[in-house]
């Protein structure tokens, strides 16, 4: 009886302590560590699109929950980089897409659980992307390329032309085929040109015709990412440039170092460990059938401009910045998984609670929104 009393007393005290949601300064060192870690988690969780770079912390709420830890609600402004999400490069080493290439800005509402032992877990995220308005781009740079639908005939044709050039000059022991076009654009002057970016898959065996290529390990995703350009008319191009990055050369039995065009693919760094998806109600990109869960990344097309271009003001240091509170990546899985109630009656398992609606009240701190990490023009 006494054990039951203390159990309910503990739960009650925890619930009272955990009802207050407060603001935190956007320039707090712990917040900056969490923000960088959150962007790492988001990039590792996604399987499509481009990596995000943290631009600034727009707003922060914290929900203390006693022995369960603290739940942080981070409102983050991000910028799209040129690195595909499957690339092994850290987002800190990726180039931000410049304004003249139609820069993509975004906002991510991210929920992070920070436990008393110092580990931080990703609970959920919801990102909205906004491309720079076409009208402003044309006014500022009339000759800059404009975005094309990725399923347009010009985009598909440019991808095939550039990949055919790569396969023809590559020393790889396999043939590659287009998996998915991720971005395409076209310019008319001063020289007609089409630019295309796409992921590639390996053909099961070298085909006599590229249209007969059967992807190896169908359904297991792309093995590389290519960036190409076709100059002149598509029927008779005057020049073709292409470079490709292979994500997992050690798994594919192929070597990196074969490249056509003026740019050489960078040798990627070590691949961060991405654990398998967990079976819990969360927004993610792994093993989700259409219509089952909402896509946590949405792209909008409003008639307003976003922040522009382009060199990072951040140093190469990451989560090792000195601070009062220990903030570390968990040793196994960075995704939050509720703990199960233990059978022993003497052990109380306390799980945190998460708000159903992401908090959006304006911050009273002058440090919010935080300073932009990238210069604007």
Sheet holding 22-23, edge to edge: 22-23, 50-64, 70-84, 104-114, 120-131, 297-299
> Cβ atoms within 10 A of the Cβ of 326, count?
13
Cα Rg of the chain, angstroms: 24
Q: Are 235 and 206 in contact (CB under 8 A)?
A: no
157 SS3 class: helix
CATH class of residue range 1-133+273-377 = alpha beta
Instruction: In whole angstroms, give the CA distance from residue 178 to residue 225.
Output: 9
Instruction: In whole angstroms, give the CA distance from residue 63 to residue 227.
Output: 44
Q: So what's the pLDDT on residue 226?
A: 96
How many residues are present in the chain? 377
Q: Which residue carries 């460990």 as its tokens? A: 273
Instruction: In whole angstroms, give the CA distance from residue 350 to residue 359.
Output: 23
257 SS3 class: coil
> Cβ atoms within 10 A of the Cβ of 361, count?
9
Q: Assign residue 78 a region (left: φ > 0; alpha: ψ between -120 and 50; beta: otherwise).
A: beta
For the chain, give percent helix, strand, coil, nearest 5. 20, 30, 50
Domain ranges, ordered by start, for the chain:
1-133+273-377, 143-252
Q: So what's the pLDDT on residue 20?
A: 87
Instruction: In whole angstroms, give the CA distance from residue 201 to residue 269.
Output: 21
pTM above 0.85, yes or no: no
Written as tens digits, the pLDDT of the chain (377 aa) is 455 444 444 444 444 344 589 999 999 999 999 999 999 999 999 999 999 999 999 999 999 999 999 999 999 999 999 999 999 999 999 999 999 999 999 999 999 999 998 899 999 999 999 998 999 899 989 999 999 999 999 999 999 999 999 988 888 778 888 999 999 999 998 899 999 999 999 887 665 566 667 776 655 667 899 999 999 887 788 899 999 998 876 544 454 433 444 343 343 333 333 333 333 333 333 332 333 334 576 666 444 333 333 333 333 333 333 345 677 777 777 777 776 555 554 556 678 999 999 999 999 999 999 999 986 55
Q: So what's the pLDDT on residue 57?
A: 97
Q: CA 213, 216, 221 angle in degrees (round to 5)?
A: 110
The residue among 85, 77, 76, 79 whose CA lies nearest residue 110 is: 76
Does CATH number 3.40.50.1370 belong to domain 143-252?
no
Q: Are 336 and 283 in contact (CB under 8 A)?
A: no
Q: So what's the pLDDT on residue 164?
A: 92
37 SS3 class: helix
Q: Are 127 and 106 in contact (CB under 8 A)?
A: yes
Instruction: In whole angstroms, give the CA distance from residue 326 to residue 271.
Output: 25
Q: So what's the pLDDT on residue 217?
A: 65
């Amino acid at each position: 009886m006494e054990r039951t009393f203390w159990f309910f007393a503990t739960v009650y005290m925890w619930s009272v302590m955990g009802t207050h949601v407060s603001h935190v300064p956007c320039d707090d060192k712990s917040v900056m560590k969490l923000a960088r870690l959150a962007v790492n988690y988001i990039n590792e969780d996604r399987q499509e699109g481009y990596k995000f770079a943290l631009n600034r912390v727009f707003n922060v709420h914290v929900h203390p929950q006693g022995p369960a830890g603290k739940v942080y609600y981070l409102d983050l402004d991000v910028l799209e980089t040129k690195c595909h999400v499957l690339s092994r490069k850290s987002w800190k080493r990726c180039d931000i897409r410049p304004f003249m290439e139609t820069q993509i800005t975004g906002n991510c509402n991210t929920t992070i659980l920070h436990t008393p032992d110092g580990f931080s877990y990703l609970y959920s995220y919801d990102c909205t992307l906004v491309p720079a308005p076409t009208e402003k781009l044309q006014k500022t740079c009339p000759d800059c390329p404009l975005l094309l639908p990725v399923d347009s005939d010009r985009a598909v044709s440019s991808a095939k032309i550039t990949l055919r050039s790569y396969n023809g000059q590559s020393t790889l022991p396999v043939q590659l085929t287009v998996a998915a076009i991720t971005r395409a654009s076209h310019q008319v002057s001063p020289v007609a040109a089409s630019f295309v970016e796409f992921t590639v898959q390996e053909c099961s065996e070298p085909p006599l015709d590229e249209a007969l290529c059967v992807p190896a390990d169908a359904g297991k995703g792309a093995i590389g990412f290519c960036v190409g350009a076709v100059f002149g008319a598509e029927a008779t191009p005057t020049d073709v440039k292409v470079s490709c990055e292979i994500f997992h050369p050690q798994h594919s039995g192929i070597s990196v170092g074969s490249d056509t065009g003026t740019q050489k693919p960078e040798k990627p760094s070590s691949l961060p460990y991405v654990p398998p998806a967990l079976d819990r109600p969360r927004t993610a990109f792994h093993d989700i059938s259409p219509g089952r869960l909402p896509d946590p990344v949405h792209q909008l097309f409003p008639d307003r401009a976003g922040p522009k271009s382009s060199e990072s003001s951040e140093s190469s240091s990451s989560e090792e910045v000195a601070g009062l509170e220990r903030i570390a990546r968990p040793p196994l899985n960075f995704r939050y998984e509720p703990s199960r109630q233990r059978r022993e009656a003497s052990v109380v398992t306390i799980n945190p609670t998460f708000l159903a609606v992401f908090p959006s009240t304006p911050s009273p701190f002058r440090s919010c929104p935080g300073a932009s990490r990238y210069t604007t023009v």
